[in-house]
Amino acid sequence: MVIISQLIRDLAAYERASHEATATDEQLRSALFGTDPHVFCHVGEVEGVVVGFALWFLSYSTWTGESGLYLEDLYVRPEFRGRGVGRALMQTLARTCVERNLLRFEWSVLDWNAPSIAFYHSIGALSLDEWTRYRLSGQALLAFSRPQPSQDAGA
């Protein structure tokens, strides 16, 4: 578990967001191996050493009624890039989709991450430019979760 946690912190540093990587080993262990695992992880190795990982979960399309695979994180240590580790991880997930009859294989990428974008295009992935991802978290999530006074107070 320690190696996956370290790779997650390495990824956060690469994405200039180290301060956001607050997950503990116990949280990760529970998510992956608890009584109801809801995320899954594959690792990439070079000469028996773990150098990358792909962490994913199931998604669902209400339009098609089919499940899909959402890749939360893909990371390969910089000194091992270009050796096919990332491609092998992505192919493993593609095979998982085919074997489990999952309709979609999706992920997000930071718009400044040109090497990853080029890689994704090289394997045939298409960007969904018409969609904008939103997030509600922290204080905004807490505030919005509270009951709101009626907008129609006079009704």
* CB-CB contact of 71 with 79 (8 Å): no
Residue 134 bears catalytic tag: no
Residue of 14, 60, 75, 120 marked active site: 120
**Residue with the two structure tokens 């116990």:** 26
Closest CA to 108 of 67, 61, 56: 56
Tokens coding 21: 């990587």
CA 52 to chain centre: 13
Active-site residues, by number, are 120
